[in-house]
Structure 1
Amino acid sequence: MDFSPPPGAKLDAANREQLMEQVKQQIALANAQELLQKMSEKCFKKCIHKPGTSLDSSEQKCIAMCMDRYMDSWNLVSRTYSSRLQQERNRAH
């Protein structure tokens, strides 16, 4: 996706806002992709000891619990990070 304006075009406030929203969406998508990749890698290593054509019930349970814990951890870190950013912004004002 190309975010640059055409040559000679000026970014007015509405265009800047739209551009920032597109960048935020791309960052959110990249973060979601990274989360899925990391979660898959870590949970596969933890739960799948003998890869085969299907998962047995213990592997399925391990994967589900691992993914739940990973998501909980990711969300906790994200909330804490956002909170600290907000605190820093408030101190700067």
Structure 2
Amino acid sequence: MTDFGDTNFADKAGDKELQDFLMMEKQKAQFNAQIHEFNDVCWDKCIDKPSNKLDSRTETCLTNCVDRFIDVSLLITNRFAQLLQKSA
């Protein structure tokens, strides 16, 4: 005779594993989307004309652009986290 309680527990454990996997994949996709957004915004801002090498001005511009983009993303993320904590 099959113990349905054990099967139910295994199903829940499998569901949790699947949810964890899907969450990780979603985070990877969001990270990749963020990288593409950095590329698009900073490319348009800093690259006048593509060439074989980056000059120091362009390299500095790209570095500053990405740094500011990351700063703003972290600021927004932290602000949302604070709002969630206050509402909980």
Range into which the TM-score falls when normalised by the shorter chain:
0.7 to 0.9
Per-residue Cα deviation, 1:15-61 (whole angstroms, up to 9, x for no partner): 12111101110111011001100001000110111211111000000
Q: Which has the higher contact order (CA 8 A, sep 6+)?
A: 2
State the Cα distance separating 1:83 from its structure 2 match: 2.9
State the Cα distance separating 1:65 from its structure 2 match: 0.7
Could you say which residue in structure 2 is the equivalent of 1:67?
66
Q: Which 4+ stretches in 1 moved above 6 angstroms?
A: none
Aligned residues: 81
TM-score by structure 2 length?
A: 0.80
User: Identity of aligned pairs, percent?
Assistant: 26
Could you say which residue in structure 1 is the equivalent of 2:3?
none
Matches within 5 A, 1:1-93: 12-88=11-87, 90=88
Q: CA RMSD in A?
A: 1.8
TM-score by structure 1 length?
A: 0.76
Higher helix proportion, which one?
A: 2
State the Cα distance separating 1:72 from its structure 2 match: 0.9
State the Cα distance separating 1:85 from its structure 2 match: 3.1
